Amino acid sequence: MEGLNRPLPHPITPETQPYWDGLKKHKLMLPNCEACGPFFYPRILCPKCHSPNLTWIEASGRGRLFSFEIAYQAFNPEFKIEPPYILAMIELDEGPRIMSNLIHIKPDPMVVKCDMPVEVVFEKLTEDITIPLFQPAKRIGGRLV
Amino acid sequence: MKELSNSVCIVGVDESDEIGIVPHKSQLTLQMEAIRNATRDAGLEIADIDGIFAPGGVDTANQHSPAVLAEALGIIPRYVDGTGLGGGSFMIMVGHAIVALYHGLCDVAVIAHGESGRSRVGIAPRCINKSLSGQFEFPYGFGHAPTYFGMITTRHMHEYGTTLEQWAQVAVSTRAWAGLNPKARFREPITIEDVISSRPICYPLNLLNCCLVTDAGGAVVLTRADRAKDCVKKPVFVKGAGEAAEHLMLTQMKKLPFSEATRVSGKKAFTMAGVMRSDIDHLMLYDNFTSAPPLMLESLGFAEPGEGVDFFAEGRSTPGGSLTINTNGGGLSYTHTGMYGIFAIIETVRQLRGECGERQVPNVNLSLVNGMAGMFSAAGTLILSDQT
């Protein structure tokens, strides 16, 4: 799409639509198994117990940087953000892991560290699509807020 | 499972006539050359092939489909398998071929690969499963192998203190072997410093941490042990075979950086073979990136978590070493088309036959070859021997 600096999520499927609807309202929604708790990505059965009894819960938006990479070149012509940028695997406080970018930090392996606390930043791409990015968690008076 | 052990032999192996950068040949030509050469190596005719195994599901337009190869060769195989999980599919398909041959569902099986991975001659663009990756990975810049494999590598460094120098040693060891292989793409020795100072691609991976992208074909021919004695070359027995699949997206990899698929696959292969890890005297470990072989050693149980890199020290994995690894020069320095697995099997067979010339490892009787499909998504493990 004209003017976008990254590919839009595509194709969105019926079972994932509530996740994208939540992001539009700045809520990070996770599918939740009544017995086993939240998981990711959205699908029709719990990946642990295979129960179909699933609901949605709103995640706190907090987590840790489980792992990362620093891309020094573009790997996809549709992704137009100037390298270097940080590819991030976030482990949410609720447990599930999701892929994202870590922003508002120098893309330098001496600065970026696994397990550093992070928090969600909602990035609006279009009227319909908002994606979750992450930044280092803010501290006030030495404590994470 | 035990009755399958030693029931089938690899009787023919070979690459295409040329490998490396081959812009004057189509992918189909590379595939056909490899099949013809491996069949000839076995002392068989193409007309003898009645089972075709090729990783059909990986690519668009079924460019690797058994039907494409049957059509090109003008034969009608009575058994086909298109297991397409990625570069380790070939190890997995050896396991499937054993079962088919054992039960007489086919008599001569060929497992075939050919890919114009670099020159892209006669090949449609690669297709990645976009349904889930398109939603949850591509918007963030993911989409090529380095953008995934570095994620596993960084976490390993965090958990175990593994260093860039230790990963680099894997490239150094593998290049030393490539120096002894006339077919290897890059043969000049390299140092740890060369790897560390090579162009950064995607931290923690530099250029020399990544495999090549080449054009090549490779094929393996199998038949039942009772028929193998009529073939030209010394038969290589399939003692053990294992496979497993775990995930497609790395967020779903349960014990990252530890590969559960590899653990399950390896365990199955050892159980079937009835041998111990300490019995193995040669290893071929799929090396799409320098961190892959050490992580495989950990997931296969050869090394404690965090200690896989120690196997690549001078005098261990290197020429003349105590447990040699990736003796053809690997995907890092010999060839990597896009799906390297077939070439690791070919090297294992050649080592067991004693055909490797300058790089021949003395007294190889039992070799393990481990394939990774995708980003540790699936695994296939083979234990091969020159004797029952």
CB pair distance less than 8 Å for A41 and B249: yes
Mean pLDDT, chain B, rounded, equals 95
pLDDT score recorded for residue B130:
72
Q: How far is CA B373 from CA B114, B217, B272, in A?
A: 16, 18, 21
CB B209 within 8 A of CB B154: no
CB B121 within 8 A of CB B23: yes
CB B1 within 8 A of CB B27: no
Bridge partners of residue A67, in order along the sequence: A89
Residues B229, B233, B239, B243, Cα dihedral to 10°? -120
Tokens of A87: 């590819």
Single-letter residue type at B111: I
Closest chain B residue to A103, measured at CA = B140
Partner residue facing A75 (CB), from B143, B249, B256: B143
- For helices B292-300 and B145-160, the axis angle rounded to 10 degrees is 60
Residues of A in contact with B256 (CB under 8 A): 66-67
Return the SS3 of B290.
Answer: coil
Average pLDDT of span B149-173: 98
- Banded model confidence at residue B173, pLDDT cuts 50, 70, 90: very high
- Banded model confidence at residue B62, pLDDT cuts 50, 70, 90: low
Phi, psi of B11 (to 5 degrees): -115, -10
pLDDT score recorded for residue A2:
60
Question: What is the phi-psi region of residue B279: left when phi exceeds 0, alpha when psi lies from -120 to 50, beta otherwise?
Answer: alpha
CB pair distance less than 8 Å for A85 and B141: yes
Domain B2-124+211-385 CATH assignment equals 3.40.47.10 = yes
Model confidence over B81-111: pLDDT tens digits? 999 899 999 999 999 999 999 999 999 999 9
Under 8 Å CB pairs connecting chains A and B tally to 118
pLDDT over 60 (residue B210): yes
The Cα of B117 is separated from the nearest Cα of chain A by a number of Å equal to 17
Phi, psi of B181 (to 5 degrees): -115, 110
pLDDT score recorded for residue A140:
65
CB pair distance less than 8 Å for B141 and A6: yes
- Banded model confidence at residue B23, pLDDT cuts 50, 70, 90: very high
Residues of A in contact with B376 (CB under 8 A): none
Partner residue facing B147 (CB), from A11, A67, A71: A71
Residues of A in contact with B127 (CB under 8 A): none
CB pair distance less than 8 Å for B202 and A72: yes
Model confidence over B227-237: pLDDT tens digits? 998 899 999 99
Residue B174, classified by CB atoms within 10 Å of its CB into exposed (0-12), middle (13-18) or buried (19+), is buried
CA B266/CA B268 separation, integer angstroms: 5
CB B78 within 8 A of CB B66: no
CB pair distance less than 8 Å for A87 and B150: yes
Closest chain A residue to B137, measured at CA = A99
Model confidence over B288-346: pLDDT tens digits? 999 999 999 999 999 999 999 999 998 999 999 999 999 999 999 999 999 999 999 99
Tokens of B227: 């028929």
The Cα of B333 is separated from the nearest Cα of chain A by a number of Å equal to 22
Report the complex ipTM: 0.95
pLDDT over 80 (residue B357): yes
The residue behind tokens 């072989």 is B293
- For helices B66-73 and B27-42, the axis angle rounded to 10 degrees is 70
Indicate the range of B66-75, B116-125, B266-275 predicted with least confidence. B116-125
Partner residue facing A89 (CB), from B132, B151, B200: B151
Average pLDDT of span B267-286: 98
Q: pTM for the whole thing?
A: 0.96
Q: How far is CA B270 from CA B8, B277, B326, in A?
A: 16, 8, 20
Residues of A in contact with B249 (CB under 8 A): 41, 99
Mutation choice for A interface testing from B126, B130, B140 by most A CBs within 10 A? B140
Tokens of B195: 């790897």
Residues of B in contact with A66 (CB under 8 A): 155, 256
CB pair distance less than 8 Å for A75 and B146: yes
Residues of A in contact with B150 (CB under 8 A): 69, 87
CA B123/CA A140 separation, integer angstroms: 56
CA A92/CA B305 separation, integer angstroms: 25
Positions of E strands within A20-116:
29-33, 37-38, 54-58, 62-71, 85-92, 97-102
Model confidence over A15-41: pLDDT tens digits? 999 999 999 999 999 999 999 999 999
